[in-house]
Amino acid sequence: MKKLESREDVELLVNSFYDKVVKDGEIGFFFNEVAKVDWDKHLPKMYAFWESVLFGQMSYKGNPMRAHFPINEIQAMEQKHFDRWLKLWTATVDEHFTGENADQAIYKAENIAKLMAFKMDLARRL
């Protein structure tokens, strides 16, 4: 299996992940119905995000947490949704890639998801 090492690899990973997400019975509605995502804008942001996280490219300029608060206000983003998100992400990484960056992609997503779940939960209590 292939190492996760180039921009093309990141694009393949992100595209395959969101192919799964939009069809998913548990979290697809966040993207399709709640946020009504403009994919032409969202996908390039996600390529840049993961390229920055994995390769230190600094091509992502944004705040990954902030985008989720308005969604969380319309529809609570709960632990079960993050668990599902991570399950799809891990399955997608494992389907295509192996090696240290593939492991990092899973490990970093787990940490960000943990922090995000905590922040979303806190925001709902305030």
Least distance between ligand HEM and beta carbon 69 (Å): 11
Would you say 12 or 22 has its CB closer to ligand HEM?
22
Would you say 12 or 35 has its CB closer to ligand HEM?
35
> Which residues partner with 120 through β-bridges?
none
List, as one string, the DSSP characters of the chain. Answer: -EE--SHHHHHHHHHHHHHHHHH-TTTHHIIIIIS---HHHHHHHHHHHHHHHHH------S-TTGGGHHHHHHS---HHHHHHHHHHHHHHHHHHEESHHHHHHHHHHHHHHHHHHHHHHHHHH-
Least distance between ligand HEM and beta carbon 40 (Å): 10
Least distance between ligand HEM and beta carbon 62 (Å): 3
Would you say 67 or 91 has its CB closer to ligand HEM?
67
Q: Under the rule (CB under 6 A), what is the footprint of ligand HEM?
A: 27, 30-31, 35, 37-38, 41-42, 45, 49, 62, 64, 67-68, 71, 77, 81-82, 85, 109, 112-113, 116
Least distance between ligand HEM and beta carbon 99 (Å): 19
Report the alpha-carbon distance of residue 78 to residue 101 in Å, rounded.
28
Would you say 7 or 45 has its CB closer to ligand HEM?
45
